[in-house]
Structure 1
Amino acid sequence: MSIGRTLEGAGCVTWWGFSPARDLLCTGSGKQQGVVNVLLVGSGDSRHILKTIAGLSNTDTLHVWMIESSMEVVARQLLLLFLALTPQESLGLHEKTEVFLEVFGNSEVRSQTLEMLRHVASQLSLLVTETLEKAAHPCLDTTHLRFKERDELDRIFKQWIHPPLPARSAPVSIAKAWDGRVRQHLGTRYDSRMGCFDWDLTMKLHQKGCGVINKQQYVRWRERGVAFEMREGIYQMANESLLSTRVFNHRGDKVAVRGYWGDIVSSPYISFGIETDDEKLLKKQNGQHIKTAQDISYVNVQALFQSLSRRGGTPPAPQSGSEEGKALVALEPPSQPEAHRKAHIGELMNLDGVSVNFLPLDSLPKLAEKQKYSHFFNSIYCAASMVHHLGPMLRQIAAPKATLVVELAKYLLDLTKEQEAGFAEKVCDIVKEAGFEPSLEDSDVCATFTLQK
C-alpha cells in the first residue's frame, strides 16, 4: 500500500501498530512449542513480542527476528524493550508501567521520564557501538545490523540525549510539529477540528468496537499528542524518541525536515488498550464504559511485565487489586523515579531462552538467498504498511506448516470500507501466490494463513 494523501493521518513512520497485541504462537492450527523462530516485519512496537513471551512455557525457546522500515523505529524498539527488561530492583512495577506508556504514546512526557529516556539512550548507544560479534545482552542482539546502520542508531540515540539545535526549543518544537500535522491533515476543517475528532471517535473507532476509548482522552491525544496521563504531573518535555527526519522535494532539491511523522488519527490505544481478558474492565454503567483504554493499557502492560519478571527470575510485585497490593499501595509513598537506581545493559533481566534479533532494513527479500533462513520461521507477522514487501520468497523462508499473520486495514481510519475490503483481497492474492492458504480463524483485524505442503 502506498503512503499518500489518503493515509496522511496514519503517517509514514509506524511508531505503534494498528492492531492489538497477540500471542503469535497461539495463532493458526495450534500452539507452537519447543524452539520457535518468529519473524516480525514492520510491527512498529514491542506489543507482539511481550504478549508472545508472556504465553511461553518454561521449556519453550523463542527467537524473534525483526525487520523494520526505518532505523528510527529500530531505535524505539530497543528503547521499549530496554524499559521492559529493566528489573524491578531498578524501577518499580508501577513506575515502570507508567514510564513505558508515556514513552510509548506521548509526544510530551514528565521531566523524570525524559531523564530515564536519556539514560536508556546512553546505554543503547554503548550497546550498538561496542558490540561487534557477540550480543551485549542475551535478549537484545544487534550484531546482524550493518555497521552503517549501527552508526545511524548511535546518531539517533545521541540526538535523544542532546537534541539538534532546532529542537532545543522543546516543548514548543514538538507541539508545533504535532499541530502542523493536524493542520495538514484536516486542511479547511482545522477550525472545526473538535467536531472532526468526535466524528472519528464515535462514528469510526467506536463503531469498530473500540468503545473503551474515552472521548476526553482521545480528543486530548488528537489535540496535543498526549495519550497517557496517569498521575498529576507536568507533561511538557518533548519525547525525542517520537521525532524523526523526513525528506521532501522542494523546487528540485531534497530537504530533510525533523518533525513528528507518525499516526495522528488512530491512536496508541489500539496496541494495548482495546482488548482484555478481564471482563470487569469492560463493564458499562448507564451505557458508558466504566474503565477507559488508558486503564486497560495500564493493566495489560503491567501484566506483561509481571510475566517477564517471572521468566527473568524476579518475583513479581503484588497486583494492586489484591489485598496485599492494596496494603502496599497504602503504605508506600508515591514512587520517585529519580530515586531509583538506573539499570545498565548488563543488569537487564535475562529471559531464559528468549532473544530478539534485529535484521537490516532491506533484508526481507534477501533472506531466501541465505541457507540459514531456509524453511526457518515457524511464524511470520507482517504489518499493513509492509505488505508490499511480501512475495513468493515467503515459501523459501517459512518452516513446514508455518503460520503467516498479516495486519489488515481495519484501524486505518482514513480508508473507506471499500478500500479496507480491497486491501484484504490484495493480501490474499499476495500470500496465496507464496503458497499460503487462509486458516479457519475469522478476523477483520489480522488475516491468518498457513503454509501448504
Structure 2
Amino acid sequence: MFWGFSESMDFFEEYQKAVNKDVEELNILLFGTGDPRNILHTIAKSYKHSTKLNFYLLDGCAEIVGRNMLLLLLAFESLEVFSLKNKTHTYMDIFGNSLVRPSSCAYIASKSEILRKIISDEEERNKMAPMFDIESLKYRERDNLENTFLFWLPKEDHVFNISRYWEKQNRQLLGTRYDCRKGVFDWDLTMNLKESGAKQISSQEYRYWRDTGIAFVFPEYEQCQPNKTMVAGLIRNGLKFLHRGYIGDQETGPFCCHGLICSEPDMVKESYGKRDYRATDITEINLYGLFHEIQHKTLYILDKNHAHKLGANILLLNKPLSGVQDENIQLKQYNQPSLTLPNIKIIFLSGDFLTNLSLDGTKFQNFFDVVFITNKYFPLLQQDLENVLTKNSLIIFETKQYTLERQEGKTEFLANIKKFAKEINLKNITNFNINIDYSVVKYKTED
C-alpha cells in the first residue's frame, strides 16, 4: 500500500524502446502506484531530452496521495535546504520506516503546514509547488487531505502508536507461528523472495523490518518517532482522529523499489554466499544518484563513498525506544519553494476515476501514452482502459513476483494479466519464451 513491488524505471526510456517514436509531450497514468519511485526516476533522467512529462496519479486513498505529495516535495528540495546525503536519508526514513528520526518527524510536521496551504490556496501552490495540479480532486478529497496533514502535526490528540499496530497485525498474520517468527521470516526471505530474484535483501535487514517495521537502518541514526505518513482511514472526530492503524505491507518491504539493481555490477554481486551491500545500501546510492540528477541535471557518476557498505556486518539492532510521538519535538521551518521543473507536471486525479477512466466523457479519450498498473489495483481495472490509450501506448503491468504469494497464485495472476491484455487487443512485448520471472510485464497498442 505504501510502496510498490517492482524496481523503479524511466518511463520515457521505456516508451522509446517500446514505441520508438519521438513526441513533444508524454502523458503518463500511474494507476494506484503507491509511491513516487517511477516519477522520480523519470524526472531524474529528463535532462537527456526536451519532452514535456505529465504524470497523472490515481489513488483511492487520501493518505497515500498526501504521502506522495510529501515525498515529492522532499525530493524537489533545493541544496539550500538539504544536502544530497541528508535528503537521501530523510527520504528513506519517511518512505520505508515505521519509526523515524526526530529530524524526519520534524520535517513531516513542518511540511504538513505547507501542504495544507498548497491544497487550499492556488497562489501558494504556484509559489511552493508549481508542478502540482489538484484541479481534478473533489472538495471532499481536499478535505480528507487537509485532515491527513493535520494529523501529521505533533499534538496529543493525534496518537499513532504504529509499533503497537505493527505487532498486532504481525500476530494476526502469523497466528501460532508468531513465537517462532524469526525462523518464519528467514524462510520467507530465502525460499520465496530470494528465489524470486530479490537476492540483494540481507537476512538481518529483512528480519528486523518484519519484526519492527523499520527497513532502512544506519548505525549513526536512532528511529524513535512514529511515521504518521503510514496512517490510513482517517476520520475526524472533534479534535481527535479515528483511523485504521497500519494496514500496509508486512511481507515484502520497501526494498524492491530502489534496492535490488545498481549501475555498478560489483555492488550487487555475491561472493561465497555473501554480499558487501545490503538492499538498504543499494537504495541509498540509487536515491542519491536520482536526487543528484534532479538537482544538477547532469549524469551522476557513481561514487561508492556515497553509500554505506554494511552487507558483511552484523549490526546491533535493539528494540526501538518508543512508539509514541514527542509533542515537544523541535520544529524547523521548511518553507523554501521547490526546484524549478519547467517541463514537469504532476496531476492528482480524483479517486472516482479508479472504476471509470471514462468518467469525464472524452477528456481522456485516446490520451495516455504510458500507463503503469500496480498489482494491488489491477482487479479494479475495467476494459474502458482501451478508450484512454493512444495508438502508440505503452502499458506496464506490475506482477506479484516480489510477494509471498504461492507460485500458483503468481502464475494465475500473470494469466489474468495476459487475458485482460488480449481482451483489449494489446500486443505483448515481454518475452515469455525464456524462463524469467518478471516484476513487470509490458504491452503496447497496435499502431
| TM, length-normalised to structure 1 | 0.85
CA distance in 2, matches of 1:391, 1:258: 28
* CA distance in structure 2 between the partners assigned to 1:317 and 1:20 by the alignment: 19
Partner residue of 1:159? 151
Distance in 2 (alpha carbons) for counterparts of 1:90 and 1:432 = 49
Aligned CA-pair RMSD: 2.6
- Retained in 2: the 8 A contact 1:242–1:260? yes
Alpha-carbon distance in structure 2 between the residues aligned to 1:164 and 1:258 = 18
1:272 maps onto 2:270 in alignment: no
Kindly tell me: are residues 439 and 319 of structure 1, through their superposed partners in 2, closer, same or farther at Cα, counting changes over 3 Å?
closer
Cα 1:97–1:231 change in 2 (3 A) is: farther
Pair 1:150 & 2:137 matched:
no
Q: 1:231 to 1:131 in 2, by over 3 A?
A: farther
Identity of aligned residues (%): 27
Q: What corresponds to 1:378 in structure 2?
A: 369
Worse-matched range after superposition: 176-185 or 437-446:
437-446
Residue 249 of structure 2: aligned partner:
263
Compared CA separation, residues 246 and 113, structure 1 to 2 (3 A): closer
DSSP 3-state at the match of 1:115: helix
Contact 1:51–1:304 (CA under 8 A) maintained in structure 2: yes
Q: Which residue of 1 aligns with 2:217?
A: 229
In structure 2, what is the equivalent of residue 329 of structure 1? none
Counterpart amino acid of residue 25 in structure 2: V
- Structure 2, unaligned stretches of length 5 or more? 236-240, 307-328
How far has the Cα of 1:240 moved from its partner?
0.7
Q: Tell whether the 8 Å contact from 2:107 to 2:334 is kept in structure 1 after alignment.
A: no
Task: Please state if 1:87 is matched with 2:82.
Answer: no
Matched, 1:184 2:176: no
Q: Shift of residue 286 of structure 1?
A: 2.6
- 5 Å-filtered alignment, 1:24-423, equals 24-27=11-14, 28-30=18-20, 33-56=23-46, 57-131=48-122, 135=126, 137-162=129-154, 165=157, 167=159, 173-245=161-233, 257-311=243-297, 321=304, 342-344=333-335, 347-368=337-358, 369-413=360-404, 415-423=405-413
1:21-61 Cα distance to aligned partner (Å, 9 max, x none)? 11122222437642101000011001010111123224121
Q: Mean alpha-carbon deviation: is it higher for 24-33 or for 187-196? A: 24-33
Tell me how far 1:246 sits from its aligned partner.
7.8
Larger deviation, residues 57-66 vs 439-448: 439-448
Q: Distance in 2 between matches of 1:163 and 1:41?
A: 34
**1: CA distance between counterparts of 2:115 and 2:102?**
20
Q: Cα–Cα, structure 1 residues 188 and 259, in superposed 2: closer, same or farther, change >3 Å?
A: same
Query: Structure 1 unaligned runs (5+)?
Result: 1-13, 248-254, 324-337
State the Cα distance separating 1:231 from its structure 2 match: 4.1
Aligned residue for 2:73, secondary structure, equals helix
Contact 1:135 1:141 in 2 (8 A): no
Distance in 1, Cα, partners of 2:183 & 2:222: 27
Q: Return the alpha-carbon distance in structure 1 between the equivalents of residues 155 and 346 of structure 2.
A: 28
Task: Classify the secondary structure of the residue corresponding to 1:289.
Answer: coil
Asked if structure 2 preserves the Cα contact closer than 8 Å seen for 1:205 and 1:411, the reply is yes
- Residues matched between the structures, number: 410
Distance in 2 separating the partners of 1:431 and 1:445: 17
Provide the residue aligned with 2:10 in structure 1: 23
SS in 2 for 1:38: strand
What is the match of residue 311 of structure 2?
none
User: TM-score, with normalisation over the residues of structure 2?
Assistant: 0.86
3-state secondary structure, aligned to 2:233: strand
CA distance in 2, matches of 1:152, 1:105: 23
Q: Which amino acid aligns with 1:446?
A: V
Shift of 1:339: 11
Aligned partners of 1:31, 1:360: CA distance in 2, in Å?
A: 30
Query: Take 1:452 and 1:365, find their aligned partners in 2: how far apart are those partners?
Result: 24
8 Å contact from structure 1 (residues 135, 142) kept in 2: no
